[in-house]
Structure 1
């Protein structure tokens, strides 16, 4: 059995394409989703319930599905995520009842959990199989993160423009009696892109052949892989820093996403125009994140290493939140410009820190537990974000909620300022090879 021998440059290109094809459909939903659900007759509390269904489903399945990818392979799990997203987008575009819309939210949450890590793990597996464990990873990780942010930015812009172009304004009353509204079109377009994503994953991401896995083997090996992933964060200081800084980033993102729409509405004087301003800001934020990710290798070189680059990125994000907090009670052109700079700085800093964090993570784990480790990282981000959202929502308006986000992000940056003990990377412990499935390691097979 031999591992795929793909040139690292080709692997980077394919990884970036996968990121674009997966995240573009989700970007298409950013602008129209809430308005579409409102057109379907849902109240704001009901829409909040849909968001909760998505988040809780993703959080509950994050670790089990990460282990599933390490047991079954990257490609089938990614393809399953694409199919579930296709079904979810179709249901949400055409569904006219809360039950169907809730089912779509649950399917999308499941897809989010399934997609958390397999594509990145495939890229690292492939590059290390070609060039060994010392291969450059940061460049490809940065390009993937840049592609993700660019796809979200493009999707947000297109998803906001299409309904207006098709409906020629906000009056959709004549179309409201049908299943397909102008607001449905971006989601249906996203479903089409998901079909292309599935086809691309199945044809362009080669993996070494794996023995067929019996269901009882999968069920037995996945919990063991998950347990090993959780233990890794407890004993490896660098991996623990990655998980903690992921939680800090999740808290910062939650604060920005919750507080910015209301601030935009207050600035424009109406919720409708505020929604348009927020869509433009979200698009600009994704562009800043893409730029930060693209500059991550350069940042690491100037900072003197990946660990210091994480400190710089998270510190920049904290400064952005401080600017947003300092201008939250002010009006006028000057404070607005400073607030916009702060908003961009948050996304630029987080985008810059991400590839360096993941470069550290991948050098501390082996292929057998790579996706599980990424799932733990994603779970830390989601759970910390949910908790921070509750805290931020309970605080009085003004600078305090923004300052809370800045303090948490700064706390996530400080551990990276201390140099970790210089110990050789410890491979992620995987379940004993009691079954052929768990014993398959693409990186090891290529040596």
Structure 2
């Protein structure tokens, strides 16, 4: 999968680097905005429909299992039939899923919606980024600078999540009508649409815009007509090639292990922060409001970190040192959260809030440099599959880490476990950073 050096074509089809970057940023924003809109009201919408928390957990499991099961096959599919087709299919599936979730009442309908959303999530893992890198390489060659575009795409994704969380949490409250919140909307739609459904329906509208934009803006060179036999033969081959690359290439393996460490850190934050917020405010309801604000702040910090990634890489000297420094900052943030878990007062809360933001800031800054290294190790035939393997590593190791964090007694120990795992991921890059010269990082390449 390691591409051989080649000269950029004199006249490459498709948009140039600047246009490709702008389209990649737009696609990233449009894809993640519905996810942000639905994250705040989703659980409350399910319980409002009469589902117990155990049933809610089951439908979320349907989403996670579907996404994990399809992660590699859909990555291979993108490498075989094209980025645009797979990404448009992801948008269509997400639009159908959100429609079922917004309007469905029966548990099986909601579970089907979550499963379809998991399939859409798997389909979307990698094609947009792979399209951007393919397009830049077609114009400027495999050594082209891509970190800036990856950073802006990551910033757009995190910014969309932050905006979506705020809108998704505020819209149901703003739509409260009369003395009984939401009574007018319920009456008008015969209880089909609840105030909590409105952000989800807005997400459907955004998904439709996303599909139309993908089909019109993400142009790519013509591919040979795909037959069912060719797809069935090509997808397993792409998956196997991606797994082999992770097994034999030291640098790619390090990136995959780092993704797993980041997944554990994020699982710890998502699992432990809501309870801590409720403890600070005194009630679960007010804690949920505080957590929504914290989540939006975290996404904003991640967006800032992604935007700063090129600067961090320049200051550090190369991508490897940038990843090491960024993950080190995130580890410091988790340690700050663990150190203040039993403390009260304004100073401790300030340190905890700073630590929370620092975790997301560091992870946001590390991502573009990691993927800059990854894309210089793979070519267009396996780019989307490699991103899917990376995403799967984050999900699976993060899920296992979340189980371990949840099994520990309350206190600083769960936070410490997340920090230790993330520190181990950072230290994977300490030897690599020492071996790589700044000149070697100028092209973003890395050896195995």
User: Does residue 1:200 correspond to 2:213, yes or no?
Assistant: yes
Pair 427,237 (structure 1): closer, same or farther in 2 beyond 3 Å: closer
Report the equivalent of 1:231: 244
- Whether 1:114 aligns to 2:123 is yes
Tell me the TM-score normalized by structure 1.
Answer: 0.93
1:309-359 CA deviation, whole Å, 9 max, x = no partner?
000111111110000000111111111111100100000000000000000
Which one of the candidate residues 128, 132, 142 is aligned to 2:151?
142
SS at 2:344 equivalent? coil
The answer as to whether partners of 2:27 and 2:214 remain within 8 angstroms in 1 is: yes
Residues 306, 366 of structure 2: 8 Å contact kept: yes
Alpha-carbon distance change, 375 to 427 in structure 1, aligned in 2, over 3 angstroms: farther
Question: Aligned partners of 2:127, 2:297: CA distance in 1, in Å?
Answer: 28
Q: Which residue of 2 aligns with 1:376?
A: 389
Instruction: Supply the distance in 1 between the matched residues of 2:12 and 2:103 (Cα, whole angstroms).
Output: 43
Shift of residue 427, structure 1, vs aligned partner:
11
What are the residue-to-residue correspondences of 1:80-95 with 2, within 5 Å? 80-95=89-104
1:412 to 425, 438, 446: 425
- Unaligned runs of at least 5 residues, structure 2: 1-8
* Contact preservation (8 Å) 1:164, 1:170: no
Partner secondary structure for residue 397 of structure 1: coil
Q: In the TM superposition, what are the counterparts of 1:55-66 in structure 2 within 5 Å?
A: 55-66=64-75
Give the match for residue 131 of structure 1: 140
Q: Name 1:433's counterpart in structure 2.
A: none
Question: How many Å separate the matches in 1 of 2:176 and 2:300?
Answer: 27
CA distance in 1, matches of 2:280, 2:209: 40
Q: Is the 8 A contact 2:100 2:109 kept in 1?
A: yes
Match of 2:173 in 1: 164
CA distance in 2, matches of 1:45, 1:217: 42
Partner deviation per Cα, 1:138-163 (whole Å, 9 max, x = no partner): 00000000000000000000111110
Superposition RMSD in Å: 1.9
Q: Distance in 1 between matches of 2:332 and 2:143?
A: 34
Q: Distance in 2 between matches of 1:240 and 1:212?
A: 34
1:330: which partner in 2? 343
Partners of 1:425 and 1:300 in 2: how far apart?
13
Is the deviation greater in 208-217 or in 366-375? 208-217
| Corresponding position of 1:342 | 355
Assess if the C-alpha contact under 8 Å between 2:14 and 2:219 holds in 1. no
Looking at structure 1, the residues matched to 106 and 350 of structure 2 have their Cα atoms a distance apart, in angstroms, of: 42
Corresponding residue of 1:36: 45
Deviation at 1:237, TM superposition (A): 1.1
Query: Where do 1:288-437 residues align within 5 Å?
Result: 288-419=301-432
1:101 maps to which of 94, 104, 110: 110
Q: CA deviation at 1:172?
A: 4.4
Per the alignment, residue 3 of structure 2 pairs with: none
Give the deviation of 1:211 after TM superposition. 1.6
Contact 1:19 1:148 in 2 (8 A): yes
Equivalences, count: 428
1:15 alignment partner, one of 12, 16, 24: 24
Is residue 28 of structure 2 the alignment partner of residue 45 of structure 1?
A: no
Among candidates 275, 278, 297, match of residue 262 of structure 1? 275
- Contact 1:365 1:426 survives alignment (8 Å): no
Structure 1 CA distance for aligned equivalents of residues 63 and 326 of structure 2: 29
- CA offset at residue 419 of structure 1? 2.2
**1:73, CA displacement in angstroms?**
0.2
Match of 1:189 among 202, 211, 229: 202
Residue 162 of structure 2 corresponds to residue 153 of structure 1: yes
1:426 Cα deviation after fit: 9.6
Which residue of structure 1 lines up, in the alignment, with residue 4 of structure 2? none
Indicate conservation of the 8 Å contact 2:175/2:195, yes or no.
yes
Shift of 1:417: 1.1
State whether residues 3 and 208 of structure 1, in contact with CA within 8 Å, keep that contact through their aligned partners in structure 2. Answer: no
- Provide structure 1 residue ranges, at least 5 long, that are not aligned to the other structure: 429-447
* Residue number in structure 2 paired with 1:282: 295
Q: Distance in 2 between matches of 1:348 and 1:214?
A: 44
- Deviation sequence 1:163-196 (CA, Å, 0-9, x none): 0000159844673861100100000000000000
Quick one: distance in 2 between partners of 1:214 and 1:110? 22
- Comparing 411-420 with 393-402, greater Cα deviation is found at 411-420
1:234 Cα deviation from its structure 2 partner:
1.2
* Cα offsets for 1:41-99 (capped at 9, x unmatched): 01111111111111111011000100000000000000000000000100000000110
The correspondence for 2:225, drawn from 212, 225, 232, is 212
Distance 1:290 1:207 in 2: 28
The separation in 2 between residues aligned to 1:347 and 1:426, in whole angstroms, is 25
